[in-house]
Structure 1
Amino acid sequence: MTSRRFVLIDRDGTINVEKHYLSDPDQLELYPGVAAAIRRLNRLDLGVVVVTNQSGIARGYFDLARLDEIHTRLYTLLEGEGAAIDGLYICPHGPDDDCACRKPLPGMIEQAVADHRFDPSRAFMIGDKEVDVELGHAVGAVSFLVRTGHGAKYEAGTKADYVVDDLPAAVRVIETLVKHGTSQ
């Protein structure tokens, strides 16, 4: 097990602008400041993993090849601004499928832990839906709800440890927590 800490980030509504079942790579648009925020995580030597439910595959809206094109564009946009992610994990299943990977279930995190050998209870989870918060709590991570994407509508009833405006704001909090050793 590595001592390196990880940040687990939802994709749609957190990293990129929410589009209803994003299926066109050309429509992938990063929120302002996201690449710089991920670059800051990289400089803090924090691992960065994206975890995303993609039920559009199960629904037949797009296929895995199309999703790979979208993720290639995501990597390209981030790398173009000097930011890197260590891994990207998807759940291609629908809400009624019996799988262990659809958020808030921990399957994607378990796979990331197997690949990167980190302690999820020392991680941070950032997302725009309560399922992201629930996933974070399920693995013992510190959870953040961002107000971008769908986040604002979950704010009133959230169980998130932190509610922030966007991913860059979450990263500022994480940076403070890591530098001052005040979190796990």
Structure 2
Amino acid sequence: KAVAELKSRKKILEDKELSLVPSEELFDRAKMEDLIKRRFFYDQSFAIYGGITGQFDFGPMGCALKSNMIQLWRKYFIMQEQMLEVDCSILTPEPVLKASGHVERFADLMTKDVKTGECFRLDHLIKAHLEKIKSEKNTQAELKAEIEDILVKLDGMTADEMSSLMKRFDMKS
């Protein structure tokens, strides 16, 4: 009788624990960003003048967090993996950007998923789709070689060339 009573109480306790657990863990990114901005972990650089996209200033807690993360990174990569650390300039001179092709072809072609509304770089989607076809066992060697050639030329392709690739390989959302 005592064992049955303990089992009954255990079952009641387990049911109560399950009822207290939230059915779905939700993370509200907007609330989190609001909190860390109010506590000045970081803020957009020059925010009072309209700000600069992609540049941030760290507050006291943000500086401490950044410092801790860099220290952990150094401990692993430099001490354990014996890699070398370099500290380069943040600004890049225009001749470097011209030589790398960033000035002429600054904008990457983007596409939008019609179902989710999410945006993707078109060249990345084409590459992933072609690599998937190439890795399939029943893909002929001739097609694999052609896909390899396309992948090499993909970065220099125009919008029309990429569009024709999408039609040819039946790429859809």
TM-score by length of 1: 0.20
Please identify which structure carries the higher strand content: 1
Structure showing greater radius of gyration is 2
Larger RCO of the pair (alpha carbons < 8 Å, separation 6+): 1
TM-score by length of 2: 0.21
